[in-house]
Amino acid sequence: MDKKNTTSKVKTFLAQQFPITKNVGNDEPLLKNGLIDSLGILEVVTFVEKEFGIVVSDEDLTPENFGSIHNLANFVHNKTQIVTLRKDRLWTV
């Protein structure tokens, strides 16, 4: 999946679950500006794990990964690329 589609899915989810985020920019701080709280992050984690088939570890729960729509979309995109590479290797070994 490309970054544009990932960003779109993330934005749609956030707007549905957290209506206050509907009109925020992709780089606006979600946590710092109080748009999503710590319980909200758990909802976001559940969404990205189910929607994109990735596992979010405790070490992944950082502002660099979840601080904005842009950061979250990049994190998801990078994680899905790693999963894809691992799957490809499993088939070529």
Domain boundaries, the chain: 3-92
Q: What is the pLDDT of residue 93?
A: 37
User: Architecture of domain 3-92 in CATH?
Assistant: Orthogonal Bundle (1.10)
Average pLDDT over residues 16-38: 95
Cβ burial, residue 75 (10 Å; 0-12/13-18/19+): buried
- Per-residue pLDDT band for 3 (boundaries 50, 70, 90) equals confident
Say how many C-beta atoms besides its own lie within 10 A of residue 5's C-beta.
11
Q: What is the pLDDT of residue 46?
A: 97
Q: What is the pLDDT of residue 92?
A: 41
Average pLDDT over residues 10-16: 97
For 39-89, how does the pLDDT look when each residue is reduced to its tens digit (9 = 90+)? 999 999 999 999 999 999 999 999 999 999 999 999 999 998 875 555 555
